[in-house]
Structure 1
Amino acid sequence: MRQATASTLLIGVLLVAGCGAGPRHAASTTAPSVTAPPATTTPTSTGTAFNPTDIAWLQLTVAMTERLLPVLDLVPARTTDPAWRQTAAQVATARRADLDRARRLLADAAAPTTNPHEGHDMPGMVTPPEMTALRATSGQSFHRLLAGHLRAHLAQSVRIATAEQQSGSQRETIALAAAVVRNGTADLAGLDELDRPPGTQPATGHRE
């Protein structure tokens, strides 16, 4: 019953976050729309108990991160560009830390050891055929594919972490979601800089 409730609530969280609004275009180099949470948004509770939204978000975060890391592990062999290598290494380090925290929190919550999202192809996740395509290319072609997949993952992560901030209840889980939103937004901005065509000007306004 608890698992069913968590899965049902997760669907609601994803709908609130706008996750099912359109078709999946992971390899597109156009950034999905990401709406930052209002500055006044605070969770309704900051206790120590986990609610179903916390569990569902942690499980989805684990599944998404486990799908992303093999993509980032391809980078050293597929490109010699130091900027792309550095970006991939930085994102991988942050996401591995998030993964460790999410797994620890799931253990603290005594959540089921089987993740219901394992093996699912959801927004922000690279599919097996897409992994095959990544392994078959290198250089600029690899950069384009990597940028699309990385942007899709980061944008989706920010969306669902924002929903966790709004609907979760466990303070450490909400804190992790806040870090995902903060770091994911910064990584998206950095990716835009890295992926900008030569000779173009950066957009007005920047993160201090």
Structure 2
Amino acid sequence: MRFTLPSRTSHRRTIRLAGVLLAGGLALAACSGGDDQPASSSSVPADATFNAADVTFAQDMVPHHEQAVEMAELVPDRSTDPRVIDLAQRIEAAQGPEIDMLNGWLQDWGASSDDEDGGHSGMDHSGMDHGGMMSEEDMSALEGASGIDFDRMWLQMMLEHHTGAVGMAQTEITDGEDADAVAMAQDIRDSQSAEITEMEQLLQDLSTQ
């Protein structure tokens, strides 16, 4: 599922920050030129924008990714299937850094990471959908399984989890405004769709054992 978004995103954010600083300097220069020279209303670059969909995407995806990482961490002690172990390692390696990026964006946007205060500007997230999240009972059952029974249960749960993430990502692609968040959503959609196909094949293989 994995992509090289951190370096790309870091580059984009460096460019955006430079643009903001440059625009701010121009605005100050305009103000110092005389009282009859108001600062330009276009001093903030157009690409330095985000909307409620971006905040919702980040706030929803953080706990979603955290649970995926938690599920992946269960694999080494419970599975002996190298294919399942490899998939879990890839999921953990990719989604850990994404969690850090999502939290960084929320901080930049002035929004909480857990949505306790409604997020940026008091936005209402009562309709949030953490698609495919496992319940506490699901996680307890998974923790208690081992061997091929664990593999089947884990694959079924992660498949459902990924399906939810793809839906969340598609919503961000359609409704989001922040270029970096939309780019991450596209990567999540593409990579996790491929992993869904991989897990479906693994489940089919395990059904004959």
Structure 1 length-normalised TM: 0.68
What is the match of residue 148 of structure 2?
A: 140
- CA spacing shift, 1:122–1:109, aligned 2, 3 Å: closer
Task: Tell me whether 175-184 or 95-104 shows the greater mean CA deviation.
Answer: 95-104
What is the match of residue 135 of structure 2?
A: 127
What is the match of residue 85 of structure 1?
A: 85
SS at match of 1:80: coil
What is the match of residue 169 of structure 2?
A: 161
1:123 to partner: Cα distance: 3.2
**Superposed CA RMSD:** 2.2
SS at match of 2:133: coil
- CA spacing shift, 1:199–1:150, aligned 2, 3 Å: closer
Structure 1: runs of 5 or more not aligned: 1-45, 201-208
What is the CA–CA distance in structure 2 between the aligned matches of 1:155 and 1:110, rounded to whole Å? 29
Residues 45-69 of structure 1, C-alpha deviations (whole Å, 9 max, x = no match) = x832110000001100001111221
What is the match of residue 58 of structure 1?
A: 58
Matching residue within 176, 190, 197 for 2:198: 190
SS at match of 2:95: helix
What is the CA–CA distance in structure 1 between the aligned matches of 2:166 and 2:133, rounded to whole Å? 14
Structure 2: runs of 5 or more not aligned: 1-45, 117-124
What is the match of residue 158 of structure 2?
A: 150
Structure index of larger Rg: 2
Q: RCO (CA 8 Å, sep 6+): is it higher in 1 or 2?
A: 1
Q: Name the one with the larger helix percent.
A: 2
What is the CA–CA distance in structure 2 between the aligned matches of 1:74 and 1:92, rounded to whole Å? 11
1:109 to partner: Cα distance: 1.0
What is the match of residue 71 of structure 1?
A: 71
Count of residues in correspondence between the two structures: 153
Q: Give the residue type in structure 1 aligned to 2:96.
A: R
Q: Does 1:170 align with 2:206?
A: no
Structure 2 length-normalised TM: 0.67
Q: Give the residue type in structure 2 aligned to 1:164.
A: E
1:197 to partner: Cα distance: 2.9
How high is the sequence identity, in percent, across the aligned residues?
Answer: 26
